[in-house]
């Protein structure tokens, strides 16, 4: 009997030990991590999900492009009926609607980062699912997206770097596990984290990203594998270079910023792959002009309903309470003073036509007709929004050059591309004024202008102010947004 007992015990023990697989249940109705990353397509699906999240309204599909971050840089004069937009415009970050929206942005950014971390972990773990080159591309992209998002959270919620680079800023999340993370000093986020990720991304993408040899490939022929095409919708090699320049400049390291910008601008392939917008196709074209100058965009997002941005926010007749427009006469007398030949004035602005309306309406995102009978490729720019455009590299180079003449040189190259005359070398002061005006003209609706003011810690001058004709002084309470309570309270 004893023997039997021992045998039974043995059976149970082996059963217990050998049944790890039996207990390993993967839900069929949900995609588990394991299932998703078992295939190449699964990786691209997860990566696509991340880029889709970046295009969500909480991130670059609204808040971090044309709405929230542009409103706080005084680009528009919102209607009084919109308490949210009015509060934003008055830098009232404690307004509950504003708090909610800021919290949404923060949450979405870090959730996207967590998604990146999970993909990164799986790239490292699942050897053999992706071809070597593709795993380098995806890893590079994911590191770059992670750095990009953290950097923007730092720019939005972090300290004025110029004043106090050691100040507490944001956490840097590089784990696929959920954990409470410390708030790091701004300079360590930039140097130890963001730039580290970008350097790694650069080295991974330099020899793997097909954009280097084949360009953006913003089209799809039958039978082609889509995953490595449309490079402008991905954080590609050139975008990483530009992003590095952006980061260095923000950190005030002009030498390194210049180096990074040069690397991009000196590359003959860049001009080949990202040609300047063609005025012939732009100015005379009313039905489907490429208003976002898509050929110049290094990386951007896919926004299927981009035309709704126009109708929902900028169309004086349809936008309702959300209507966003600069104060009357700002666009023609201040923004494009004496330079209305600028392609950007010509194609992005339109005199308001509604009853009782005056001033200009911003039509950068206005819907365009699908070219009849043309291939899909040309329609790409109807659903595309910029995150980083080549012109910024020119401006960064201009700002970073130590010699004044060189500064004007980079600026003029860009001005030429916008149909503007070359500027004479005048003074550092004049250069900066000109450069700032370039930012205001170029990046409206793309969310970069606020960061310019915060980086320089400069006033929003009366002639730069799209809200009213006052000058708004640079103040930390205006430029440093409070961290969401959900970040602070749960520590």
Partner 1 sequence: MKKTYDRKVFKRKLLLNRRAVTVTIRLFMILLLGFPLLTRAGTVDSTRMENREVRGKVVDEKKLPIPGVSVRLGGTSMGTATDVDGKFKLLVPADTATLVVSFIGMKTEVVKIPRWKAGVEQGELTIVLREEDVKLEDVVVTGIFTRRKESFTGSASTYSAAELKTMGTQNILQSLKTLDPAFAILEDNQFGSDPNRLPNMEIRGKSSMLGLRDELDADPNQPLFILDGFESTLAAINDLDINRVASITILKDAASTAIYGSKAANGVIVVETVKPEAGKLQVSYTGNMNLSMPDLSSYNLMNSREKLEFERLAGRYEPASWSTTNEVELNRLYNEKLKVIASGVDTYWLAEPLRVGVNQKHSLYVQGGEGNFLFGLGAGYNGVSGVMEKSDRDVISGNIDLIYRMSKFQFSNKFSLTSTDYRNPIVAFSEYAAANPYYKKRNETGTVEKWLENNNFFKAANPLWNASQNSRDEGKNLALTNYFMAEYFPTVEWRMRARLGLTHGNDDTEKFYSRNDTRFENMETIKKGEYRSSNTRTNQMEGELSVTYAKVLGKHRINLVVGGNVSSNKSLTQGYSAVGFPDGDFSYPSFSNGYPENGTPTYYESVSRSINGYFNTGYSFDDRYLMDFSLRTSGSSVFGTSRKYNTTWSVGVGWNLHKETFIMDHVGWIDLLKLRASISNPGNQSFDSAQSLLTYSFQYGSMNYFGLGAVLAQIGNPDLEWQITVDKNIGLDVTLFNKRFSLTVDYYYKVTDPLLIKVSTPLSSGTGTYMTNAGEQVSQGLTASVTYYIFQNFEERFSWMIRANVRTQKTRIDKIGNQLSTLNASGKGSNTVRYYDGADPDDIWAVKSAGIDPSNGKELFYAKDGSYTYDFSYDDEVICGNTRPDVEGVIGSSLNWKGFSVSLNFRYQMGKDVFNEALYSKVENISRSDLNKNQDKRALYERWQEEGDIVRFKNIASAETTPMSSRFVQEENVLTLESVYLGYEFYDGWIKKLGLSSLKFQVSMRDVFRASTIRSERGISYPFARSMEAGLSFNF
Q: Is 9 in the site for partner 1 (CB under 8 A)?
A: yes
- What is the gyration radius of the CA atoms in the chain, in angstroms? 25
Q: Is 171 in the site for partner 1 (CB under 8 A)?
A: yes
Contacts of 16 (CB under 8 A, 6+ apart): none
Residue pair 202/237 in contact by the 8 Å Cβ criterion = yes
Q: Is 489 in the site for partner 1 (CB under 8 A)?
A: yes
CB of 173 to partner 1, least distance (A): 6
Residue pair 365/305 in contact by the 8 Å Cβ criterion = no
Q: How far apart are CA 149 and CA 106, in angstroms?
A: 10
Q: Is 23 in the site for partner 1 (CB under 8 A)?
A: yes
Q: Is 486 in the site for partner 1 (CB under 8 A)?
A: yes
Taking Cα atoms as reference points, which of 279, 270, 276, 245 lies closest to residue 259? 245
CB of 143 to partner 1, least distance (A): 16
> Parallel, antiparallel, or unpaired: how do β-strands 384-389 and 297-302 relate?
antiparallel
Q: Which is nearer to partner 1, 30 or 405 (CB)?
A: 30
The b-or-e profile of 303-315 (16+ CB within 10 A means b, else e) is beebbebbbbbbb
CB atoms within 10 A of CB 373: 5
CB of 379 to partner 1, least distance (A): 11
Strand partners, 300: 386
CB atoms within 10 A of CB 211: 25
Which residues in 218-247 contact partner 1 (CB under 8 A)? 220, 226-227, 229-230, 233
**What mask of x and - would describe binding to partner 1 in positions 104 to 143, judged by CB under 8 A?**
--xx--xx-xxx-xx-------------------------
Which range, of 15-23, 91-99, 187-195, 322-330, touches partner 1 by CB under 8 A?
15-23
- Residues making up the chain, counted from first to last: 491
Q: Could you give the residue ranges of the DSSP H alpha helices within 164-267? A: 186-188, 195-206, 211-214, 237-250, 254-265
**What mask of x and - would describe binding to partner 1 in positions 44 to 83, judged by CB under 8 A?**
xxx-xxxxxx------------------------------
Q: Is 158 in the site for partner 1 (CB under 8 A)?
A: no
When binding is defined by CB under 8 A, the residue of 28, 127, 403, 428 that contacts partner 1 is 28
**What mask of x and - would describe binding to partner 1 in positions 336 to 365, judged by CB under 8 A?**
------------------------------
When binding is defined by CB under 8 A, the residue of 77, 170, 292, 398 that contacts partner 1 is 170
When binding is defined by CB under 8 A, the residue of 83, 103, 311, 332 that contacts partner 1 is 103
Task: Indicate the helix (H) or strand (E) that contains 297.
Answer: strand 297-302
Q: Which is nearer to partner 1, 255 or 486 (CB)?
A: 486
> Parallel, antiparallel, or unpaired: how do β-strands 360-362 and 349-351 relate?
antiparallel
CB of 125 to partner 1, least distance (A): 13
Contacts of 318 (CB under 8 A, 6+ apart): 311, 312
Q: Which is nearer to partner 1, 302 or 310 (CB)?
A: 302
- Three-state secondary structure readout of 108-144: HHHHHHHHHHHHHHHHHHCCCCCCHHHHHHHHHHHHH
Binding site for partner 1 (CB under 8 A): 1, 4-5, 8-9, 11-13, 15-16, 19-20, 22-33, 36, 42, 44-46, 48-53, 103, 106-107, 110-111, 113-115, 117-118, 170-171, 173, 176-181, 220, 226-227, 229-230, 233, 302, 304, 484, 486-491
């Amino acid at each position: 009997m004893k023997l039997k007992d021992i045998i039974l015990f043995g059976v149970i023990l082996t059963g217990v030990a050998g049944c790890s697989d039996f207990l390993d249940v993967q839900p069929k109705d949900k995609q588990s991590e394991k299932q998703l990353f078992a295939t190449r397509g699964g990786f691209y699906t997860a990566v696509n999900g991340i880029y889709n999240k970046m295009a969500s309204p909480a991130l670059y599909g609204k808040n971090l492009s044309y709405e929230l971050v542009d409103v706080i840089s005084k680009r528009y004069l919102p209607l009084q009926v919109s308490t949210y937009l009015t509060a934003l415009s008055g830098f009232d970050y404690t307004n509950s609607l504003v708090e909610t929206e800021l919290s949404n942005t923060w949450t979405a950014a870090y959730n996207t980062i967590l998604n990146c971390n999970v993909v990164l972990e799986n790239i490292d773990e699942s050897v053999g699912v992706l071809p070597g080159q593709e795993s380098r591309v995806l890893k590079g992209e994911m590191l770059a997206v992670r750095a990009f998002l953290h950097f923007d959270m730092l720019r939005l919620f972090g300290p004025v770097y110029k004043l106090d680079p050691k100040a507490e800023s944001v956490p840097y999340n590089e784990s696929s596990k959920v954990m409470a993370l410390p708030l790091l000093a701004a300079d360590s986020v930039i140097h130890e984290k963001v730039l580290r990720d970008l350097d790694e991304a650069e080295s991974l993408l330099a020899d793997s990203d097909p954009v280097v040899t084949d360009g953006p490939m913003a089209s799809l022929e039958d039978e082609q594998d889509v995953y490595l095409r449309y490079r402008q919708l991905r954080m590609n090699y050139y975008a990483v270079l530009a992003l590095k320049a952006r980061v260095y400049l923000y950190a005030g390291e002009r030498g390194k910023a210049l180096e990074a910008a040069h690397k991009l601008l000196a590359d003959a392939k860049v001009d080949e792959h990202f040609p300047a917008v063609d005025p012939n196709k732009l100015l005379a074209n009313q039905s489907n002009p490429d208003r976002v100058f898509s050929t110049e965009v290094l990386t951007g997002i896919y926004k299927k309903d981009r035309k709704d941005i126009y109708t929902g926010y900028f169309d004086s007749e349809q936008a309702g309470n959300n209507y966003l427009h600069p104060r009357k006469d700002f666009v023609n007398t201040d923004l494009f003073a004496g330079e209305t030949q600028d392609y950007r004035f010509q194609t992005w602005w339109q005199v308001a036509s509604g009853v009782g309306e005056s001033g200009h309406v911003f039509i950068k995102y206005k819907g365009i007709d699908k070219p009849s009978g043309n291939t899909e490729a040309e329609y790409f720019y109807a659903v595309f929004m910029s995150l980083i455009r080549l012109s910024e590299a020119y401006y960064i180079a201009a700002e970073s050059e130590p010699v004044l003449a060189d500064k004007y040189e980079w600026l003029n190259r860009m001005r030429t591309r916008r149909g503007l005359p070359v500027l004479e070398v005048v003074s550092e002061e004049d250069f900066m004024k000109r450069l700032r005006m370039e930012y205001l003209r170029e990046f409206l609706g793309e969310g970069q202008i606020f960061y310019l003011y915060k980086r320089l810690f400069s006033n929003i001058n009366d002639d730069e102010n799209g809200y009213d004709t006052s000058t708004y002084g640079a103040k930390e309470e205006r430029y440093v947004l409070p961290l969401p309570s959900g970040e602070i309270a749960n520590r």
